[in-house]
Amino acid sequence: MTNSSVKFITIEGMEGAGKSTNLSYVIDFFQQRGIEFAATREPGGTEISEKIRHLLLEHHTETLAPLAELMLIFAARAQHIDKVIKPALDAGQWVICDRFTDATYAYQGEGRQLGGKKVELLERFVQQELQPDLTIILDVPVALSAARVEQRGGELDRFEVEDSDFFQRVRDAYHQRADAAPERYALIDASQPLLKVQAELLGILERLLD
């Protein structure tokens, strides 16, 4: 990063973990303190990357091969880093991103059972030295995740229709990554009432600013 005082924050979690609600809370936190930031998401964040996002989430008559899915995600990420993330950090803005490469390790590496080595190879090639300074993982049990998605209603995307075994592998992967590098990850029990979740978030963000 050009400016060592800026931070790259990512927010992770399975469907139904409350990412959208808590992302809004994080954005409000920075707005109230007058800190310049860019809020973005993956896959997506640019015109081209958003088109790849739609391709990844939509249902198709042709099955999308797991390796093709992985390559599309990193294609979107390469564009996103070049056009949004790096320019914002270089301009002295913090970056808050809804999902990043931890999601790829969880969903494609473990959920799709491609393994971490393929993800790591592409990570090094696409990201070079770029890594989040803080990754917040909103954790919920698989059964609660499914119940919340069902309660939300609407058409399910390609990932939301996966079975409980898939999502258990995803959840386990998030836990393993958090356990392996506790200095970068903050794992929050998102099955708690929202006020408790956001109280934990507040403490994490305040410590980051300190």
Question: How far is Cα 157 from Cα 172, in angstroms, rounded to an integer?
Answer: 22
Per-residue pLDDT at 1: 36
Instruction: Give the Cα-Cα-Cα angle 183, 11, 187 (nearest 5 degrees).
Output: 45
192: left (phi over 0), alpha (psi -120 to 50) or beta: beta
From first to last of the 210 residues of the chain, give the pLDDT tens digit: 334 589 999 999 999 999 999 999 999 999 999 999 999 999 999 999 999 999 999 999 999 999 999 999 999 999 999 999 999 999 999 999 999 999 999 999 999 999 999 999 999 999 999 999 999 999 999 999 999 999 988 899 999 999 999 999 999 999 999 999 999 999 999 999 999 999 999 999 999 998
Q: Which two tokens stand for residue 181?
A: 């590098």
Indicate the pTM of the whole model: 0.95
* Amino acid letter for position 26: V
Per-residue pLDDT at 3: 47
Count of all residues that appear for the chain in the document: 210
Closest by CA to 178, choosing from 73, 105, 127, 70, is: 105
* Amino acid letter for position 110: E
Question: How far is Cα 35 from Cα 206, in angstroms, rounded to an integer?
Answer: 13
Half-sphere exposure of 21 (CA within 13 A, CB side): 11
* Amino acid letter for position 29: F
For the chain, the straight-line distance linking the first and the last C-alpha, in angstroms and rounded, comes to 19
C-alpha pair distances (Å), 55 with each of 63, 76, 119: 12, 11, 20
